[in-house]
Chain A
Amino acid sequence: MAEQHIQLPLTDDVIEKLRTGDYVYLTGTLYSARDAAHRRMTEALQKGEPLPVDIRGQVIYYVGPTPAKPGMVIGSAGPTTSLRLDPFTAPLLEAGLKGIIGKGGRRSQVREALQKYRAVYFLAVGGAGALLSKHIRRVEVVAYEDLGTEAMRRMEVEEFPVVVCNDIYGGDLLEQGKAQWRKAEVLAG
């Protein structure tokens, strides 16, 4: 298990060095977006309208935080299930998105698009929202403010811990992990 410390936004040479299973600490800017924000971005792309932020080279984090307590920049902020965003993902990758952070596996259409557009899918630990919030230093709503917890936010993160799930070479951590740790003899018994 290799560890890497990476500066955002992602560059092509950094992406080329990332491998499925790497434990990576991200520092820099990323953007939060969930279901409703994705629906709006997809509509904008379909109409040929500009997206609220230039996503080329950027990373999107699937998160809908709890409200920030007084004196804090954000509440609990762990990843949500990525599966729900699968239908919206390929067009964003085509538009230049280079990284995604979520939890759980992706459908084959997304895995193929990640390879095609040379982007990386990271896993953050679901259910570690209190811990992850400590790595988010600054938060600013940049679009879709009316969506509340689902608004699009720019986040400055420091040493934000993630694991590479899908690299640009077709690797998939969920498949590899299962293959390595499965005990077929117990399941057969």
Chain B
Amino acid sequence: MREVHVDQIRDTVRRLCQEATSLLPEDVLDALKRARQQEESPLAQKVLDQILRNAELARQEMLPLCQDTGTAVIFVEIGQDVHIAGGALMDALRDGVGTGYTEGFLRASMVAKPFSARINTKNNTPPVVHTEVVPGDRLRIMLLPKGGGCENMSQLRIMLPSAGKKGITEFVLKTVEESGGNPCPPVIVGVGVGGTAEHAMYLAKRALTRKVGEPNPDPETAEFEQDLLEKVNALGLGPQAMGGRITALAVHIETYPTHITSLPVAVNLQCHSARLKEAVL
């Protein structure tokens, strides 16, 4: 049993908030540079140039890449041989986000009483937390600040099993096309297939934590990802939906076995400012 103190967790989350919102991951930058090379529309090229310059500027001056510094989505993998000492894990995560967003001059976008008064909580808490217990004695924390523009375009459909790949393809294309410029393309398309309703959406979100364009280890799923990416880019939306070749940087599919009667499919889009930062304690 290894001990991890909540103070260390809180301070790590605080640092991740500030770094994730200003430093675009290298794999995302590389994907954007490739997109710039492949893009044929002159207007879309200018848009991609702006996006790349923005990332450079944000990194140099530690400025938020985007004014929407998002909902703080946190994935925590807890080694089963870890003992969390000194307090509650959830409090540490919440305090880390509160301090990180306040000290980092990040936007507080969370409102309580969502269907009525919508009162801003002032420090972007609480985070949305997904925990998973895994073998080992480490604690892995991934922070994914998720912007509202792309999150609002999420879709879930429970399909008939007979819908198969064709049904999923149509659903993904419809979701991307109807979302237009709102999710800030070029996007990363997260797709969750299987499980139950809530698990499919979890998988779609989790798919966004993969390195951009890294294929699913299952060859059949990887092939489906490539096929979907080609079709999404054939929609012609392009960067910011101003028209162009690159509507998506990647399609990531995660799957899970499902009930014999069911085919849950969830789509969770990520904007080009695909912010993600992790730490292992």
Q: Which residues of A contact B (CB under 8 A)?
A: 1, 21, 23, 63-69, 75-78, 80-81, 83, 103-105, 123, 125-134, 148-149, 161, 163, 165, 173-174, 176-184, 186-187
Tell me the complex Cα distance, A183–B242, Å.
15
A83 to chain B: which residues have CB within 8 Å? Answer: 182
- Would you list which residues of chain B between 263 and 280 have a CB under 8 Å from chain A? 271-273
A103 and B240 within 8 A (CB): yes
Residue B63 CB within 8 A of the other chain: yes
A186 and B234 within 8 A (CB): yes
Contacts A1-B46, A125-B51 aside, 16 further interface pairs with beta carbons under 8 A come to: A1-B42, A21-B242, A23-B46, A67-B106, A75-B107, A76-B58, A76-B66, A78-B66, A103-B149, A104-B181, A127-B51, A130-B54, A163-B47, A177-B243, A179-B236, A183-B234
* Contacts A1-B43, A173-B242, A186-B231; A75 near B63 (Cβ below 8 A): yes
Residue B71 CB within 8 A of the other chain: no
Report the tally of A-B residue pairs with Cβ distances under 8 A. Answer: 169
Chain B binding surface, main DSSP class: loop
* Contacts A127-B272, A134-B57; A21 near B63 (Cβ below 8 A): no
A177 and B41 within 8 A (CB): yes
Q: Which residues of B contact A (CB under 8 A)?
A: 41-43, 46-47, 50-51, 53-54, 57-58, 61, 63-69, 105-108, 120, 147-149, 152, 173, 180-182, 184, 230-231, 234-238, 240-245, 271-273
Tell me the complex Cα distance, A81–B185, Å.
12
> What are 23 A-B pairs with beta-carbon distances under 8 A?
A65-B107, A66-B105, A66-B107, A69-B105, A75-B64, A76-B67, A103-B240, A104-B241, A105-B182, A105-B241, A125-B47, A125-B50, A127-B54, A128-B53, A133-B63, A163-B47, A163-B242, A173-B242, A178-B235, A179-B243, A180-B41, A182-B236, A187-B231
